[in-house]
Structure 1
Amino acid sequence: MTKNKRLIYIALLAAQAVVISLLERAIPFPFAFAPGAKLGLANIITCISLYTLRTKDTLMIICIRLVLATLLGGSLSTFLYSAAGAILSFLGMWLVQKLGPKRVSIIGVSTAGGILHNVGQLMVASFIAGSWNVMLYLPALSFIGILSGIAIGIAANYLLQNVQTLRNFFEAKQALNK
């Protein structure tokens, strides 16, 4: 992939992640026992970029999403919670992915990200509250993280297969035009 194509691909993924984040923020989540819980739909983009781009490109997409989503409808506290969750989630997903596709599928990678995102947010909440009692939400949020991680992983796997198919199609078409 040429540098320009890679940059365009990064920009498209970042834009999609921002739009998904803003849409998700507008949708109320029905779990009253876990305040602030979200599905983490933007992790679909993180999963796709982990499997199609370099690590630093994926991190750049995450940073762009965090900053733009905050500027377009967030606050300092939403940035802190989102950043802590996203960075810890990314690190965990990256490490789990390094185990290899024979050991862990994209669904497992996504599930690790879902759980670790909640851990990161609870760590910030504990720091802000000055108490580790906030971590009592971890079992409930982990359960939600596992379920959403599986759903996100399935969606990312489906999209990733179609992205690869489209890429192969356009590369073949480009080769024929030369």
Structure 2
Amino acid sequence: MRLYEAERPRSVVVGWDTLEAPNWRILQFPAYQGGRHFDDELLEQLDVLPVFAHACGFAVGKAPGYEADDFLAAAVAVGEERGWTTLVASGDRDTFQLASELTTILYPVKAGEIARIGPEQVRERYGVEPHQFPTSLRSAAIPLTKFQVRQGSERRLRQNYCDATQTSKR
């Protein structure tokens, strides 16, 4: 909520992983995210927080077989298609590949401090263009998710995003 108050966005999309059904990455690469364990308290929150986000008027991207990454990438695609300035708040460096002249990544670096990552920061930090970022991480043996917007997630997000935008205009 502090980030929302500080940035005052026109609309917000919140993406969530779904743990009840395997996503397409796990089906394609069974070792993907292997060995992850979630505390029961966190799992309870994963059921409640999307309801809270929706009650705040935010568009919520959560569906069996999809990850939060799918919805974030779809939101950026919609924003860029419309020429909007887009902010992606995430502690996942995978999002750096979304950085562009229109899209800035808000990346937490330490208690309360947020770095703004654009194409220049990706080039400075990693020596690659944002679209090359997944490949550079793979060569450094850092596990990551490659964003790939599936038609279903993009279609679902477009509908939720348009609904939330209309709601926020009222």
TM-score by length of 2: 0.39
Name whichever structure is richer in strand by fraction.
2
- Greater C-alpha Rg: 1
Name whichever structure is richer in helix by fraction.
1
TM-score by length of 1: 0.38
**Structure with the larger RCO, 1 or 2 (CA within 8 Å, 6+ apart):** 2
